[in-house]
Amino acid sequence: MPRPGRPGPGPARPAPPAQRPHSTSGQPQAARPENRSAPQIQLIPASAAGALDAADEAVDLLLDSGRAPGDILVLTTGEHHPWAAHELSFGEAAYWAQHEAGDDVFFAGAAATERVKPRPVVIVAVNGEGGDGVAGALSGARERAGALLIVCGDPQRINTVLGAGV
C-alpha cells in the first residue's frame, strides 16, 4: 500500500488550483505551540466529491516542500480517507497507536477531532453533506492546527462556516 498521502499507481492527477502556503505579515512560518489559536488558513476550492483528492494533493505539496510527514493531520467530514479505512480494518488499537507514534501523516474522521493531538498542519477535506458537523470539524481543526489549516471544499460553504473570507 502506498505511503499515506501518496497516490498509488495510475495516471498522475492534475494539480487543483491550490495556493502555495505562504506567510502573512506578522505570522511566523514555524509551528509553535503558542501559535495554535491563530493558524494561517488556506482554502483549496473543491467539490465534495473532489475534496479527498484535493487534500491528497495538498499533502503531496507539503511533503515535496520538505514538511515532515508527522507534522500533518488530515480530517474528513464525510467518508473516511481510504488510508484510514484500510488501517481501521486492523483494529482501533493499531490505528490509534499510529497516531500516538506521530511519525507519519495521519488520517481521521472529523468525529474523532477531540481525540487527535495538535499538529503543525491540519487539512480538512469537506467531503460530507454539511450542517453542524462541518462547523464542528472546522472549529476543532482550527484548534489543533499549529501553523496552517488547509480546508478543501466549497469556498462559499466554508467561508460561511468560518465566518470570514479565507
pLDDT at position 131, please?
66
The answer for residues whose C-beta is within 8 angstroms of residue 32's C-beta and 6 or more apart is 146, 147
Q: What is the pTM of this model?
A: 0.76
Q: Does the structure show a pLDDT above 70 at 102?
A: yes
pLDDT at position 136, please?
86
pLDDT at position 118, please?
96
The answer for residues whose C-beta is within 8 angstroms of residue 126's C-beta and 6 or more apart is 46, 48, 51, 77, 78, 134, 137, 151, 152, 153, 154, 157, 158
pLDDT at position 4, please?
55
In tens, the pLDDT along 49-77 reads 999 999 999 999 999 999 999 999 999 99
Distance CA 158, CA 145 (A): 17
Q: Is residue 120 packed enough to be buried (19+ CB in 10 Å), middle (13-18) or exposed (0-12)?
A: buried
In tens, the pLDDT along 106-141 reads 999 999 999 999 999 999 999 986 667 788 889 899
